A = this chain, B = another copy of it.
Amino acid sequence: METLVPRSTCHHTTIRIATGCPTEFIDLTARIEALVSQADLRFGFVNIQSLHTTAAIVLNEHEPLLLTDFETLLDRAAPQQAGYRHDDATIRRVNVTADERINGHAHCRALLLGSSVCLNVVDGRLQLGRWQRVFLVELDGPRARDISILMLGEGGR
């Protein structure tokens, strides 16, 4: 008889995504599922963390019209033309870079959406409901975006 002793496991990966539009929803679900499978994680957490202040991580349905509704929602909550002090070069003194963009709206939208999502893994499978998908939300693209993915829990067979 074989005794299965759970062993602690921990894996980390950074993935880079090149976005193509100012606002864009990039479905990461298949990539995350592949990482969980490769890591041989049986039970535990996957924390998916954007390393940016104008890109978010969210869960919702991958239906193209709904993604345009989300864009409308974000534009209502933090309109691009609302006049952000962050974008006022006449008064701004901190964190000014050579390639500074007009992106106060993007920071505000990221604040509302959140930077990371922590998901459960059970019996080797990422826990997602029928319609749930994991998205990187680009809010100030196009840019290269890095996402830190850490898996912690009990491993393998």
Is A32 interfacial (CB 8 A cutoff)?
no
Q: What is the interface of chain A, defined by CB distance below 8 A to chain B? A: 6, 8, 10, 12, 43-45, 47, 49-53, 58-66, 68-70, 72-73, 76-78, 82, 84-86, 88, 91-92, 94-95, 104, 107-108, 110-122, 127-132, 146, 148-150, 152-154
How far, in whole Å, are A118 and B61 apart by their CA atoms in the complex? 22
> What is the distance, in angstroms, from A116's C-beta to the closest C-beta of chain B?
6
Contacting A10 at CB < 8 Å: which of B6, B86, B132? B6
- By a CB distance below 8 angstroms, the chain B residues around A152 are 43-45, 152-153
- By a CB distance below 8 angstroms, the chain B residues around A45 are 45, 47, 118, 150, 152
